[in-house]
């Protein structure tokens, strides 16, 4: 149940009788609200080891979506970070809630097809990626209205597809992250998958350089390397459940968020618990984090380069201004992105689409 699934859960609540079509479904992997749907899967479901190795079948995804029979519906709502936006809506409005154009073949191509990829992937990916980019751009015409998760993604949609997009931010369920009582601990916090583009190495190195205690929550292929890099002030907790993470948010000095994200729910979770954010100032955090020095009450500190020096300087700037971050103000800011707000905005938007608002 990551960000995309939590958006889907709201869509299921908005349309309790709607059918759900998906490339692949692992029973029991998502919430009961989603599991109760009439779920139609594609032929990807029947391929060997699909649940674990689904990226191997990426070149087959377009054909899998094309086989869905979507006749007889009033609206098609695609929730897309890869190929769902190519669904054929059979003459009814098609709204795409877009997490990003297919990052495998656009902005993050090097991460998926670079030296860390397998030999077969490196051999076939250049030709496959070129074909997928052309297909991705061409099938954008099947969407009547794009809704992006952030201004960053809206700009990417414009650049990749030549289409405008409205922005409705994904939800954070603030109820899951109660406000702290003001009893703050001595540690900074990272909550993240441990993969290269998250740049957790910057947080580990900055904490070591400054001698600050850092707790890292998360698992992933970078875990072993990061542990070797870490000094004595850095602690790795691995996977933790939602309640444990909420408790860690409430008592941290601040959340460190050094990666470039399309949106990023984690900073809002920390703010809901009353704790500020120290983040790389690009991508989705520009929609969610209010930096020091502006007219609005600050919710965090931003740094401009993904370097250890820049992050360490941001930590020192935060410590010098720590008294300016009021927990209730941080909570109030997070509540403007609450699940209820998302549900209401999507409901109003989709009502407008069904009433015949023009395509974008």
* pLDDT tens figures, 89-125: 988 999 999 999 987 777 655 555 555 555 655 666 6
On the question of pLDDT at 31 being above 60, the answer is yes
Please state, for a pLDDT cut of 90, what percent of the chain lies above it.
Answer: 79
Interval 36-75: pLDDT, tens: 999 999 999 999 999 888 888 888 999 999 999 999 999 9
At the topology level, CATH places domain 3-171+339-354 in Rossmann fold (3.40.50)
Report the C-alpha gap between 254 and 83 in whole angstroms: 36
Tell me the CATH architecture of domain 175-335: 3-Layer(aba) Sandwich (3.40)
Give the side-chain half-sphere CA count within 13 A for 353: 24
Task: State residue 288's pLDDT score.
Answer: 97
Instruction: Domain ranges for the chain, please list them.
Output: 3-171+339-354, 175-335
Report the C-alpha gap between 356 and 66 in whole angstroms: 25
- Do the Cβ atoms of 360 and 211 come closer than 8 Å? no
Task: State residue 9's pLDDT score.
Answer: 95
Task: State residue 122's pLDDT score.
Answer: 62
- Do the Cβ atoms of 161 and 98 come closer than 8 Å? no
Task: State residue 359's pLDDT score.
Answer: 58
Interval 127-143: pLDDT, tens: 778 888 888 999 999 99
289-296, Cβ contacts within 8 angstroms, sequence gap of 24 or more: 290/333, 292/317, 292/321, 292/324
Model confidence, pTM: 0.88
Residue 12: how many other CB atoms lie within 10 Å: 19
User: In DSSP terms, which residues pair with 277 in a beta bridge?
Assistant: 255, 300
239-247, Cβ contacts within 8 angstroms, sequence gap of 24 or more: 242/176, 245/191, 245/217, 245/269, 246/176, 246/177, 246/178, 246/273
Task: State residue 113's pLDDT score.
Answer: 53
Task: State residue 358's pLDDT score.
Answer: 59
Interval 315-333: pLDDT, tens: 999 999 999 999 999 999 9
Give the side-chain half-sphere CA count within 13 A for 194: 20
Report the C-alpha gap between 83 and 102 in whole angstroms: 7
Strand (E) or helix (H) holding 141 = none
87-91, Cβ contacts within 8 angstroms, sequence gap of 24 or more: 87/21, 87/142, 88/142, 89/142, 89/144
Interval 235-285: pLDDT, tens: 999 999 999 999 999 999 999 999 999 999 999 999 999 999 999 999 999
Task: State residue 349's pLDDT score.
Answer: 96
3-state class (DSSP) for residue 319:
helix
Radius of gyration of the chain (CA): 21
| The total number of residues written for the chain in this structure | 360
What are the CA-CA distances from residue 11 to residues 35, 68, 170, 175, 343 (Å)?
A: 13, 19, 12, 19, 8
* Residue closest to 300 by CA, chosen among 265, 256, 352: 256
Q: What is the dihedral of CA 91, 94, 100, 104, to 10 degrees?
A: -30
Interval 215-227: pLDDT, tens: 999 999 999 999 9
Report the C-alpha gap between 144 and 277 in whole angstroms: 36
Query: 3-171+339-354 and 175-335 share one CATH topology?
Result: yes
Q: Quick one: average pLDDT of 78-86?
A: 92
């Amino acid at each position: 149940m990551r960000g995309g699934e939590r958006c889907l859960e709201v869509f299921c609540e908005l349309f309790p009788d709607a059918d759900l079509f998906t490339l692949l479904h692992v029973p029991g992997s998502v919430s009961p609200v989603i599991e109760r749907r009439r779920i139609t899967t594609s032929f990807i479901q029947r391929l060997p080891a699909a649940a674990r190795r689904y990226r191997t079948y990426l070149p087959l995804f377009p054909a899998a979506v094309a086989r869905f029979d979507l006749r007889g519906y009033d609206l098609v709502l695609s929730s897309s970070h890869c190929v769902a936006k190519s669904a054929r809506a059979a003459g009814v409005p098609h709204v795409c809630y877009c997490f990003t154009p297919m990052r495998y073949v656009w902005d993050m191509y090097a991460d998926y097809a670079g030296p860390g990829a397998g030999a077969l992937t490196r051999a076939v990916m250049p030709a496959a990626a070129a074909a997928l980019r052309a297909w991705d751009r061409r099938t954008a015409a099947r969407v009547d209205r794009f809704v992006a998760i952030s201004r960053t993604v809206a700009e990417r949609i414009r650049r990749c597809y030549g289409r405008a997009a409205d922005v409705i931010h994904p939800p954070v369920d603030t109820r899951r992250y109660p406000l702290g009582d003001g009893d703050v601990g001595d540690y900074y916090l990272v909550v993240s998958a441990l993969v290269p583009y998250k740049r957790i190495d910057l947080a580990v190195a900055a904490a070591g350089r400054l001698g600050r205690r850092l707790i890292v929550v998360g698992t992933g292929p970078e875990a072993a390397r990061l542990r070797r890099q870490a000094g004595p002030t850095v602690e790795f907790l691995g996977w933790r459940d939602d309640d444990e993470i909420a408790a860690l948010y409430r008592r941290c000095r601040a959340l460190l968020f050094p990666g470039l994200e399309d949106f990023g729910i984690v900073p809002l979770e920390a703010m809901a618990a009353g704790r500020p954010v120290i983040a790389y100032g690009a991508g989705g955090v520009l929609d969610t984090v209010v930096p020091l020095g502006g007219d609005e009450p600050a919710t965090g500190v931003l740094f401009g380069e993904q370097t250890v020096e820049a992050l360490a300087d941001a930590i020192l700037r935060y410590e010098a201004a720590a008294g300016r971050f009021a927990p209730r103000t941080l909570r109030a800011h997070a509540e403007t992105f609450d699940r209820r707000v998302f549900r209401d905005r999507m409901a109003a938007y989709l009502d407008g689409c069904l009433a015949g608002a023009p395509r974008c």
